[in-house]
Structure 1
Amino acid sequence: MTPKLDRIILFPIKSLDGVEVESAMILPSGALKHDREFAIVDAGQKIVNAKRTAKIQQLRSTFNLDTQTISIGVQSAAPVTFDLTADQDAFAAWLSNYFGFAVHLSRNTTTGFPDDLDSPGPTIISTASLETVSQWYPGTNAAEMRRRFRSNLELSGVPAFWEDQLFGIAGVGKEFTIGDIKFHGINPCQRCIVPTRDSNTATPTQKFQKIFLQHRAASLPDSVNRDRFNHFYRLAVNTQIPASEAGKTLNLQEFCRVNE
């Protein structure tokens, strides 16, 4: 097997659509530059994300990372373009009108806004895992599961759930590399309500979590420590990247190697 980095996906604004890139720089925090760099927050500084409101999943957006602009619309409606620096007030007004309450953009160029504050590194999954999970839900495909589970890094050349070997015992990071960048695999990523909904319409998939739990438990590789699963609604791997790797660039087609 030759696990290879096949996709890098950044999510410049938390909970909005991702951007596929060919490379990504490592920040001192271990996060990827531009990933979850912005978040939509309300007047009380609470993050507005897809866990909080399914309406956010009905927004379609594209980003230009070079110009720091976003084009955004509701599903198939004609998009509107905003500069994320010069047009923040106008963008906030557009979003506030859509959500029905006041929001604005918050920015964090150090760590971004990760779900797991203890493991702000990129989440990792294999293409085969997405393909296998899609088979549990007739009418879906790997692309749909990619949008639902929103992992940053995707590995090809390995079987489904190969990434489960990238974490070990609790409290000890499993060491591996992608290219020349060192990673510590921390734990299997606990999932929320977001993957249970259609990524375009936000319509719930009936019995999504029940079906997932049954299949995930049955398909867990024998080599994986089942004690790391207090439940089986977990997919992909949370990571940390040591500060020594800051400033390095992660590139597509680089190989993943596990330190035994």
Structure 2
Amino acid sequence: MFENKSADRLAKLQAFDRLLTIMDELREQCPWDKKQTIESLRHLTIEETYELSDSIMDGNLPEVKKELGDLALHIVFYARIASETGQFDIADVLNGICEKLISRHPHIYGDVKADTEEKVKQNWEQLKLKEGNKSVLGGVPVSLPALVKAMRIQEKARSAGFDWEEKSQVWEKVEEEMQEFQQAFANESHLQPEEAEKEFGDLLFSLVNYARFVNINPETALERTNKKFIKRFNYLEAEAKKAGKNLQNMTLAEMDVYWEEAKKQE
């Protein structure tokens, strides 16, 4: 079957076959692997996905390679478990995604014309509706983190033509939401927490919208800021400890000296 494949492709196929073989052996012989179910693997897969995300954010390609291997194992693991009850196997999984990619790219495998990224995205969403999705937003996972979900909702709405025309309009919306959020705190003696929370949510959603318009991924941007804050705070803790100080007993002004030092080292 693979006689005409290049040596490089054969090496990849052999590596995948090796993984399938090892998975079969572990499932049949290892007490831990034999005990696992699709449900028991779920939280581990989520953890592995976040570890891959961390590696990508750190720009650590050796770790990216390792984490991709972990996820590949999980995919094979799920398929092996399902094959034991005749639900599906790894061939079904791979053929399924191949068929979906072919059907979702009629501009490559058919006679549809799509010469821009935006047109490709619009075709993609229209095809998903034809395949059974009841709503353009139906493909957004319920359990996505809220910031990522906001971005995906807005992207999908755009693919259906529901979007602002200019980024200036989006910024006006940000300013409007900021004013409404500030108004929620105008009279703190009658502050309604639920109303303030709602207005803050609207403000965040509008900021995500603006980020999308200027080609910034808000999840990536916020995570970079998180990492920057952690690095600076760790420096603050370490330097205070070297000086024999305890953060709880330091003034904000004293801590800010170390904070500014940390910023200069970036």
> Normalising to structure 2: TM-score of the pair?
0.20
Q: Which has the larger radius of gyration?
A: 2
Instruction: Return the structure number with greater relative CO, CA threshold 8 A, min gap 6.
Output: 1
> Normalising to structure 1: TM-score of the pair?
0.20
Higher helix share: 2
